[in-house]
Structure 1
Amino acid sequence: MIRLLLICFVSCVVLGEQTEKKSGVIEEEPLSHLEQQHDQSHEHEHEHEHEHEHEHEVLLEQDGARSFNQLQPEESIAQLGILVDRIDINKDDFISEDELKIWIQNVQRNYTNEQVEDRWKDFDVDEDGLISWDEYKNVSYGSYMDDPLMREDLNIPQMLQEERRFRAADTDGDLKADKHEFNAFLHPENFDHMKDVVVQETIEDFDKNGDGFIDLNEFIDELYPPGKDENTPDFMEKERQDFLEVKDKNKDGKLDKQELMELIFPADSEANSEAKNLLKESDTNKDGKLTKTEILDKHEMFVGSQVTNYGEAVVPHDEL
């Protein structure tokens, strides 16, 4: 099941799709723009992902390939230099904010398309070029439904949540997904017509009292489950203040659908925000554009960003 989460670790909100590992359920890949994840303590439901600082390593561990942090600095710099030439669309030897944004958007798009291709064979059982809801349900939950000993572990609310998302992604209503529709199912945060579903799933994941809102306690408990540690981390107080002063715009002590919509889908896109930040941090002469030298001087920051798909693009092809 793809879980859509409102996460806040360092006073920002990130929507994530948590990788879940369940007996009989195919493991989901993280969402394209998932950069931070939280630790949930739902017994029999979750095996937790690494935190943000380790996530790129998870994405890069493929068939024994070296990850970028195993490369010598000169290797990653050389590969990044090749990449800069490709980012420079108009070939003027400068990288603009728009060129960075377009490149990051393409990286995100390619990543999600690859995920669809990688997962397609798992679910298109009859190989007809479409994935029906029944095919997805049987592959993901069949072992639970067919085995009486496992039936009590079947997570019906989770299955129904996924069915609702599948129907929302299925724009022609035939309960069969082509690759575009399956992409919307796996990565709903990238599709405008899936926004309401994303918000609803986020509420359901956090809302323990069933009132249709996320109150402060529910929000904090998901970030730092009760009983996890006797001492609450210092940053949690900042999270409380941020919830009350920033996230809860109408000051009613809880997050409603509109407030969540604005948090999960800010006006400034993720690609645009990252492009702005990379430019700001690398533009040493403050001329509003980047030279290859300025980028290579900050190669560690660029290699650890979406520009390189968190380092994957700077691993030489003969290493993959």
Structure 2
Amino acid sequence: MAGRLFAPLLFVVALAASLPTLGDTASAHIHTHQHNKADNNERTEDGAFSPRDADHYAEGEHHEEFDHEAILGSVKEAEEFDRLPIQESKRRLGILLTKMDLNNDKYIERNELKAWILRSFSTLSAEESEDRLDDADTNEDGKVTWEEILQDTYGNDPEDLALDDKLIQDDKQTFEAADLNKDGYLDTEEFKAYTHPEETPRMFPLLLKQALADKDTDGDGYINFQEFIGDRAKSKDKEWLLTEKDKFDYEHDKNGDGRLDSDEILSWLVPSNEEIANDEVDHLFVGSDDDHDNRLSFDEILDHHDAFVGSEATDYGDHLQDIDRFNDEL
């Protein structure tokens, strides 16, 4: 173990000595209910897809929008709940609880809450994808061509297209992989694979291929640490470099051989919704399991309804929008 640590440490120190000492500042993005995120394949600095809970905590603050969307499975429904008076919000949440409660015992166990959250993640992706398809579908035929996506995403300015050449090339590959029946169009399900390849296992081979094309400079089918940090290191300080090396060694390089193989690359690129759902279950239980019996009664959840769904702080009357539609959906 000591030998494994010593050699990489010498490499890091040597590499760090050759880098300029520059401050690295980044402003956290505050999570709000959003439609049509600007970047359908939002990435972290190292190239991995951003996890769903990236904005759950930002700049030391907890943002409850993530919790509400994780329960309601819809940005639109979360916005609607935000406008409801408390009693109506609780009433609707009570209806949802009967659907979460798979064994009908009037308690929500951890596995039931996790299953519901994973379902919500899927419906959130579908909702976002459908909204973006509507934006791109200029002829309103319910499906999109590559030309429609190109126009919607990049416009038609030749200079802009030239600047984004690598992005466009990757997007075209993603479009072609998502087009399951190879008819040149993406229907609703295919478009979801295009907008959320990190949540679509059949798209993983393409994600791996693109990652290797981007970082595997020696062409050996693996990504070592120097390839992993790439040109990013030129504008970073020594502390950043040491942090990245630690993450590479102890988070990404799971078998400790000093390089990332195919499975390790995908594990780094693709966030685990299972892990995120587990974290969200823990978060909601900590704030709501008042009797510490490791299950949530309906009353406990309704007593802490604001942790699960939004509502107006004051009752503004009985004028409620779309209640019949909401009940029909439930």
Give the TM-score band, short-chain normalised.
Answer: 0.5 to 0.7
Match of 1:88 in 2: 98
Give the C-alpha shift of residue 318 in structure 1.
Answer: 5.5
Contact conserved, 1:6 with 1:202, CA < 8 A, in 2? Answer: no
Q: Does 1:185 align with 2:223?
A: no
> What residue number does 2:41 align with?
3
CA distance in 2, matches of 1:268, 1:111: 13
Distance 1:240 1:175 in 2: 43
Indicate yes or no: 2:67 matched with 1:15: no
The question of whether the paired residues in 2 share the 8 Å contact of 1:105 and 1:271 is answered with no
Corresponding residue SS for 2:183: coil
Q: Deviations over 1:226-260 (max 9, x none)?
A: 536x6847xx7555323213321232333232102
**Partner letter of residue 93 of structure 2?**
L
Residues 295, 111 of structure 1: CA spacing in aligned structure 2 closer, same or farther, 3 A cutoff? same
Contact 2:49 2:271 in 1 (8 A): no
Match in the other structure for 1:132: 145
After superposition, give the CA deviation of every residue in 1:245-288 in whole Å (9 maximum; x if it has no partner). Answer: 33212323332321022345578724642464246534454434
AA aligned opposite 1:104 = I
Secondary structure, aligned partner of 2:49: strand
Report Cα offsets for 1:188-227 as digits up to 9, x if no partner: 222221122334445556x2846454443565579x8653
Counterpart CA distance in 2 for 1:61 and 1:162 is 25
Q: State how far apart, in whole Å, the 2-side matches of 1:242 and 1:7 are.
A: 13
Distance apart, 1:150 and its partner CA: 4.5
**Going by fraction, where is helix more abundant, 1 or 2?**
2
CA offsets per residue over residues 95-151 of structure 1, 9 Å max, x none?
122321232133223222221232223221222222111221233334233xxx555
Counterpart in the other structure of 1:295 = 301
Q: CA RMSD in A?
A: 4.4
Q: Within 5 Å, which residues of 2 pair with 1:1-320?
A: 2-3=40-41, 5=43, 15-16=49-50, 34-36=52-54, 79=89, 82-89=92-99, 90=101, 91-145=104-158, 149-150=159-160, 152-153=162-163, 155-202=164-211, 207=215, 209=217, 211=219, 213-217=222-226, 219=228, 226-227=234-235, 232=239, 237=242, 239-264=244-269, 269-270=274-275, 272-274=277-279, 276-278=281-283, 281=286, 282-295=288-301, 302-303=307-308, 308=309, 314=311
- Separation in 2, partners of 1:57, 1:122: 24
Shift of 1:167: 1.2
Residues 244, 251 of structure 1: 8 Å contact kept: yes
Contact 1:81–1:292 under 8 Å retained in 2: no
What percentage of aligned pairs have identical amino acids?
26
Q: 1:5 to 1:55 in 2, by over 3 A?
A: farther
Q: Could you state the TM-score of these two structures normalised by the residue count of structure 1?
A: 0.62
Deviation at 1:179, TM superposition (A): 0.7
Distance 1:202 1:79, change over 3 A: farther
CA distance in 2, matches of 1:101, 1:139: 36
The number of equivalent residue pairs is: 263
**Measured at CA, do residues 170 and 179 of structure 1 come closer, stay the same or move farther in structure 2, by a change above 3 Å?**
same
| Matched residue type, 2:53 | E
User: For residue 112 of structure 2, what is the amino acid of its counterpart?
Assistant: E
CA contact (8 A) 1:213 1:255 kept: yes
- Structure of higher CA gyration radius: 2
Asked if the contact 2:52/2:276 (under 8 Å) is kept, the reply is: no
Separation (CA, whole Å) in 2 of partners of 1:6 and 1:150: 23
* CA drift at 1:83: 1.7
Q: Are 2:48 and 2:269, in contact at CA under 8 Å, matched by a contact in 1?
A: yes
How far apart in 2 are the matches of 1:210 and 1:170? 31
Any unmatched runs of 5+ in structure 1?
17-32, 38-49
> Per the alignment, do residues 124 and 216 of structure 1 end up closer, same or farther by CA in structure 2, a change over 3 Å counting?
same
